[in-house]
Structure 1
Amino acid sequence: MNIQIFGKKKCFDTKKAERYFKERGIKYQFIDLLDKGMSKGEFNSIKQAVGGYQNMLDENCKDKNLLALFTYLSDEDKEEKMLEKQVLIKTPIVRSGKKAAVGYKPEIWKEWLI
């Protein structure tokens, strides 16, 4: 099983997700969105798995100006802006193959481990 955690180093939910897998002895790969980022292919795969970019948007983003600008963009431009400014992406995003979950969702991750 190949688990990937896309997150931010200072995000408490990302730290909780890492701890969840560490405590169960499950290897995972951590990708810092603010440092390395997410490729367009990864973004599209996760977007499809979680039901659209709307479910990936962090409405509590600290950059309120960017969030306000985001609301006025067209749908195509919104996806490009999220990929460009990954601070808009809600974390953690945990992915296993074609399955993905946004936020701290141990009940979903447990199903993957069965």
Structure 2
Amino acid sequence: MNLQIFGTKKCKDSKKAQLYFQERRIPFQFINLQEKEMSKGELRSILGSVKLDDLIDTESKVYEDKNLKYMVYDKEEALLTNPLLIKTPVVRDGKKATIGYVPEIWKQWIEDSKK
């Protein structure tokens, strides 16, 4: 497994995701979206598993501040330039990715990696 967790230090679900993998002694890389933006390649890889619209956190302060509810905009570009628009955590293992806290899917990934 080659896990990456994209989130923020203040996000409770990001903390829970980290704890989930720590408890199982599975190494991961944590990317703090407050400090580092997601690369275009990382975003495209994630979009192979999840929908673009599902990645946008419509309840975030950035979404409200930029008044995106009423605007037409390039969603992919918005996520790349405003990483705090991304719903967290995004957990990625190669080409597979999830949004939010979904241990039932991660459990399957762990079982599949042992085969």
Taking only aligned residues, the RMSD between alpha carbons, in angstroms, comes to 1.2
Equivalent position to 1:79, from 49, 52, 76: 76
> Residue in 2 aligned with 1:2?
2
Equivalent position to 2:95, from 95, 98, 104: 98
Ranges in structure 2 where 5+ consecutive residues have no aligned partner = none
Ranges in structure 1 where 5+ consecutive residues have no aligned partner = none
User: What's the TM-score once normalised by structure 2's chain length?
Assistant: 0.90
User: What's the TM-score once normalised by structure 1's chain length?
Assistant: 0.90
> Residue in 2 aligned with 1:54?
53
* C-alpha contact (below 8 Å) 2:5/2:30 kept by paired residues: yes
Q: Distance in 2 between matches of 1:69 and 1:57?
A: 10
Q: Distance in 2 between matches of 1:81 and 1:70?
A: 13
Provide closer, same or farther for how the CA distance between residues 71 and 41 of structure 1 changes in structure 2, counting only shifts above 3 A. Answer: farther
* C-alpha contact (below 8 Å) 1:70/1:81 kept by paired residues: no
The CA deviation at 1:61 is 0.3
**Displacement over 6 Å in runs of 4+:** none
Secondary structure (helix, strand or coil) at the match of 2:21 reads helix
* C-alpha contact (below 8 Å) 1:70/1:78 kept by paired residues: no
Aligned residue pairs, count = 110
